[in-house]
């Protein structure tokens, strides 16, 4: 029995919340998390991108499990070790290849990195490094599926499709004390 004043459970929606990196967002369905949005150039851009990609309504009182994920994301961007392997993902619409890639990548924890080629080998697809790169660029759950931990074979940082590109990826790697590209300094203003 619930109180008349208690909000009704929300099956699908999205929420935007503040982190030290800027506003992030989460979208969900009854099957799990559907989208993670890292900060865009402005808070409005963050919300607009999440709303468009998720197609879900905004929810100001997210379910407890979503609030728990947002709390862990806040702590992550403050430099605290965070684990997201227990987060249920809504895998509908993924190719079998992408689902295998994302599943294998979730095994890499805080402070661990791999390369595009090594990840291809790990899923039994040697020579599929470019396809791994495409999967990373299409990852709907950055941070939860830690695409920032995938580096070029040379140890170079590689690409990153979130706002801020390589500088955002570098910052996330630095939070986890992963050295890539000699840990070049961040651009002024990014994650200040």
Q: What is the chain's mean pLDDT, rounded?
A: 87
- 59 catalytic residue (yes or no): no
The per-residue pLDDT for range 13-46, each reduced to its tens digit, is 999 999 999 999 999 999 999 999 999 988 899 9
pLDDT band at 191 (very low <50, low <70, confident <90, very high): very low
Domain boundaries, the chain: 13-77, 96-175
Residue 80 reports pLDDT greater than 50: yes
Average pLDDT rounded to a whole number, residues 81-89 = 96
HSE-up of residue 23 (Cα within 13 Å, Cβ side): 16
Q: Which CATH architecture has domain 13-77?
A: 2-Layer Sandwich (3.30)
Q: Which residue has the higher pLDDT, 25 or 4?
A: 25
Give residue 185's pLDDT: 39
3-state secondary structure 60-119: CCCCHHHHHHHHHHHHHHCCCCCCCCCCCECCCCCCHHHHHHHHHHCCCCCCCCEEHHHH
Q: Which residue has the higher pLDDT, 85 or 186?
A: 85
CATH of 96-175, one of 3.40.190.10, 1.10.3720.10, 3.30.1360.120, 1.10.10.10: 1.10.10.10
């Amino acid at each position: 029995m619930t109180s008349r004043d208690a909000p009704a459970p929300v099956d699908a929606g999205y929420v935007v919340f503040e982190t030290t990196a800027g506003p992030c967002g989460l979208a969900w369905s009854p099957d799990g998390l559907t989208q993670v949005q890292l900060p865009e150039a402005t808070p409005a851009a963050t919300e607009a991108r999440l709303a468009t990609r998720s197609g879900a309504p905004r929810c100001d009182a997210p379910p407890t499990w979503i609030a728990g994920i947002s709390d862990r994301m806040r702590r992550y961007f403050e430099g605290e070790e965070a684990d997201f392997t227990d987060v249920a993902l809504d895998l509908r619409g993924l190719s079998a290849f992408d689902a295998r890639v994302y599943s294998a990548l979730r095994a890499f924890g805080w402070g661990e990195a791999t390369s595009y080629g090594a990840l291809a080998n790990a899923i039994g697809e040697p020579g599929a490094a470019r396809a791994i790169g495409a999967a990373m660029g299409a990852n709907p759950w950055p941070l939860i599926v830690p695409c920032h931990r995938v580096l070029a074979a040379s140890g170079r940082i590689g690409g990153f499709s979130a706002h801020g590109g390589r500088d955002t990826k570098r910052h996330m790697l630095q939070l986890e004390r992963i050295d890539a590209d000699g840990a070049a300094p961040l651009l002024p203003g990014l994650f200040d």
